[in-house]
Amino acid sequence: MMTMTTTRRRTTTITMTMMMMMMTLMMMITTMTTITMLLVIVTIMLLLLLMTMLLLMMRWRRRSRTRTRTRATTTTTTTTTTTTTMMMMMIMMMMMTMMIMMMMMMIMMR
C-alpha cells in the first residue's frame, strides 16, 4: 500500500511539473518579448529547484522507511510528514502559477 501511494504521488508531481513546463512554453510562444522571456527563464529555474527538492525528499523518505520498518510507531510519523510536505509543495506550485499569471496580465495590460 505504501509503495502504491508513493508511486501515485510521484506521478502526480511529475505531471504537475510537466503541465507547468507546458504552460511556460505556451506563454513563450504566445508572447515573445524580452521581459516575458526573462520571466519564463526564472520560472523554469524555480521549477528545477523544486524538482530537486522533491527528489531529495523522496530519497530521505526511502531512507527513513527502510530504517523504521521494524518499529510500528515511527512509520505513522513519516507518513504524516510526507503528506504535509506534499501539501506544502502543492501550495507552492499554486502560488507560483498565480504569480506567473499576474505578471503576464501586467505585461499584457502594458
Q: Are 68 and 78 in contact (CB under 8 A)?
A: yes
CA–CA gap between residue 82 and residue 100 (Å, rounded): 27
CA–CA gap between residue 49 and residue 77 (Å, rounded): 26
Tell me the average pLDDT across 72-99.
67
The yes-or-no verdict on residue 76 having pLDDT over 60 is no
Average pLDDT across the chain, whole number: 66
* pTM of the predicted protein model: 0.31
* pLDDT for position 99: 76
Up-side HSE of residue 44: CA atoms within 13 Å toward CB?
13
CA–CA gap between residue 54 and residue 57 (Å, rounded): 5
* pLDDT for position 8: 58
Q: Are 55 and 46 in contact (CB under 8 A)?
A: no
Q: What is the pLDDT confidence band of residue 70, given thresholds at 50, 70 and 90?
A: low
The yes-or-no verdict on residue 104 having pLDDT over 60 is yes
**3 vs 93, which has greater pLDDT?**
93
* pLDDT for position 2: 46
